[in-house]
Chain A
Amino acid sequence: MFLFPRLPATRRLRCEALRELYRSYRSENTCEARGLRLLREWLSPCQREQFNAQGHFDVIGCDSGKKYRIHCGTAMNVHEIDEAGRVRLGLCFAPKGSLVTGDVMLAQKIALETFERRALAVANRCLIVDLRSNAGRAGRANTPRPST
């Protein structure tokens, strides 16, 4: 019935501790975890604090001075925020290729902080319904492409 003899309590505890250590090492070294770690390293102290507390962080566009909020995600995760703190617009742009979440968010931060106009030129936009103000209607707000 029992092929393996019962381990003494101290040895069993040591095995469990080792297993837990291995599990945490594995979880900290996934692609996603490494991406989020890189993001945190490159955030300003304020942004890092905001990201840790709220799961998103704000950046200021280098050309317009507008405020953008970058949420955790890889698509439609950038929102333009107005002076009153309301969401005005959703923006969708990301680096080409399938990158992990932290990398996408870091590229979005750097783009808005260093070449905002060029980043916005490629971004798709969509209106965001702010339920608090009950204003605006959801829908795509892309500039219509000229018909060819």
Chain B
Amino acid sequence: MAMQIVMDHNGDTRHHFDPNDADALAKAERRFKELTGQGFTAAVRIASGEVAKISSFNPTAEETLFFPRLIGG
């Protein structure tokens, strides 16, 4: 099972999906586009502790993390 983790005021919301299920994959891709369209940053883990920002949906990623746009404090 793959997972999209969206940071929010509750900590995070997790969306699990089966990457072998075409419908679930399409839904995950729609979610990716919606969130990045709203200004969320998407990141994946490429190695132990190493992270990479992604700008297009990666269907092979086990975990994709989304966090809102950065602002100055």
Contacts and interface: CB of A to CB of B under 8 A. Distances in A.
Interface of A: 31-32, 34-35, 38, 42-48, 75-76, 92-100, 102-103, 106-107, 109-111, 113-115, 118-119, 122-124
B73 A124 contact: yes
A92 B11 contact: no
B67 A107 contact: yes
Given A96-B70, A99-B9, 17 more contacts: A32-B11, A45-B49, A46-B49, A76-B73, A93-B71, A98-B9, A99-B7, A99-B8, A99-B67, A100-B9, A103-B12, A107-B68, A110-B65, A113-B51, A114-B43, A114-B53, A115-B53
Contacts of A35: 11-12
Contacts of B7: 95, 99, 103, 106-107
A96 B72 contact: no
B44 to A, nearest CB: 10
Nearest to B12: A38
Interface in B20-73: 39, 41, 43, 45, 48-53, 65, 67-73
Contacts of A32: 11
B2 interface: no
30 contacts: A31-B9, A35-B12, A38-B5, A38-B12, A42-B51, A43-B49, A44-B50, A45-B49, A47-B49, A75-B73, A92-B72, A94-B70, A94-B71, A95-B68, A95-B70, A96-B39, A96-B69, A96-B70, A97-B8, A97-B68, A103-B7, A109-B51, A110-B41, A110-B67, A111-B41, A114-B52, A114-B53, A115-B41, A122-B71, A123-B72
